[in-house]
Amino acid sequence: MKQESVAENTPPASPPPLQPPQDDCDPQALWIFGYGSLVWRPDFTYSDSRVGFVRGYSRRFWQGDTFHRGSDKMPGRVVTLLEDREGCTWGVAYQVQGEQVNEALKYLNVREAVLGSYDTKEVTFYPQDTPDQPLKALAYVATPQNPGYLGPAPEEAIATQILACRGFSGHNLEYLLRLADFMQLCGPQAQDEHLAAIVDAVGTMLPCFCPTEQALALV
Ligand SMILES: N[C@@H](CCC(=O)N[C@@H](CS)C(=O)NCC(=O)O)C(=O)O
C-alpha cells in the first residue's frame, strides 16, 4: 500500500470558525436573536432576554423542515430572514454568559445548523424598550443555497402545507400559531403581513380540513 506522507493526507487548514459577536460590556457574553421557534422555545439557559426587532430583514416561511415540523415525504415550512431594506422583524434576543455561551452554541448548532440547515449571521438588534441602544446579536438564517430551502409561494399554498405537516417537535400549525401569539403580545407596532396572511388563510381553510374539535387536537 502506497505510504502517503503526512503532508499529503493532512486536510488543508480550514478558516477559523466565525467568531460570534460579543457583548461589548462583557466579552464572555453573547446575544442570540430568535424570530421563529426560538421565540417561544429557546431550550437553552440564558441570563437575560429582550423583545425587539432587527431592521433590513423580513421574516418568511420559506425554509423547508423535514425534522422538527415535517418529514422527508411532507416537509413543513419554518421561517428564515430575507434581506429587505424596508424590512423589520420582531423577535427575542437572549443573552448568554460564561459557560452558557458554549452550551447554547453547541445546542443550537445541532438544532438549527445540523437538523435545520441554518447558517449563522450577525445582526443588529433593537430592544423594544431601548431602541437607541442596539445590540450585536447572532441569528440563525436559512439561505437559498441550503438543500432544504423552499423559497416563495402564495400564502394560501404555505397555509395548506402547514396544515398538512407535522414532525418530531410537533405540528407545523403549532409553530405558526405560537409565532402569531408572540406577535400579538408585541403590540400593534409589530406588524408581519406575511405571517398574518398565512394565519388568515389557515383560518379560512381549517373548517374544510377538519371539524373544530379535531383542529384543536392538532396542536
Ligand atoms: N432561526 C429561527 C428559526 C428557528 C427554527 O424555527 N428552527 C427550527 C429548525 S428547522 C426549530 O428549531 N424548530 C423547533 C420547533 O419547531 O419546535 C429562529 O431564530 O427562531
What are 189-201's pLDDT values in tens digits? 899 999 999 999 9
For 157-188, write each residue's pLDDT tens digit: 999 999 999 999 999 999 999 999 999 999 88
CA angle 83, 81, 107 (to 5 degrees): 140
CA of 57: how far to CAs of 80, 110, 120, 189, in Å? Answer: 9, 24, 14, 16
Report how far ligand 1's centroid is from the alpha carbon of 105 (Å): 14
* DSSP 3-state of 168: coil
Report how far ligand 1's centroid is from the alpha carbon of 80 (Å): 9
> CA 89 to CA 58: how far, in whole Å?
6
Joined together, the cell numbers standing for residue 43 give 431550550
Q: Ligand 1 pocket check: which of 31, 49, 68 to mutate, most ligand atoms within 8 Å of Cβ?
A: 68
Residue 112 annotated to the active site: yes
Report how far ligand 1's centroid is from the alpha carbon of 102 (Å): 19
DSSP string, 81-121: EEEEEEEEEEEEEEEE-THHHHHHHHHHIIIIIITT-PEEE
- Model confidence at 19: pLDDT above 60: no
In the structure, what pLDDT confidence band is assigned to residue 213 with cuts at 50, 70 and 90? low
Query: Of 8, 112, 193, 213, which is the active-site residue?
Result: 112
> CA 14 to CA 189: how far, in whole Å?
44
* DSSP 3-state of 64: strand
> CA 163 to CA 40: how far, in whole Å?
20
Q: Is the CB of 41 under 6 A from ligand 1?
A: yes
Q: What is the ipTM of this complex?
A: 0.94
In the structure, what pLDDT confidence band is assigned to residue 16 with cuts at 50, 70 and 90? very low
Q: Is the CB of 140 under 6 A from ligand 1?
A: yes
Query: Whose grid coordinates read 422583524?
Result: 89
Report how far ligand 1's centroid is from the alpha carbon of 212 (Å): 27
- Domain residue spans of the chain: 21-218
For 71-92, write each residue's pLDDT tens digit: 999 999 999 999 999 999 999 9
Report how far ligand 1's centroid is from the alpha carbon of 195 (Å): 15
Check: CB of residue 83 under 8 Å from CB of residue 77.
no
State in words which class domain 21-218 has: alpha beta
For 52, counting Cβ atoms within 10 Å of its Cβ (0-12 exposed, 13-18 middle, 19+ buried), the class is buried
> CA 131 to CA 135: how far, in whole Å?
9
> CA 6 to CA 26: how far, in whole Å?
42
- The pTM for the full model equals 0.84
Q: Is the CB of 111 under 6 A from ligand 1?
A: yes
> Which residue has the CA at smallest separation from atom 10 of ligand 1?
116
> What are the beta bridge partners of residue 123?
137
> CA 135 to CA 127: how far, in whole Å?
8
* DSSP 3-state of 187: coil
Q: Is the CB of 175 under 6 A from ligand 1?
A: yes
- Model confidence at 112: pLDDT above 90: yes
- What value does the mean pLDDT take over residues 145-152? 94
| pLDDT recorded at residue 13 | 47
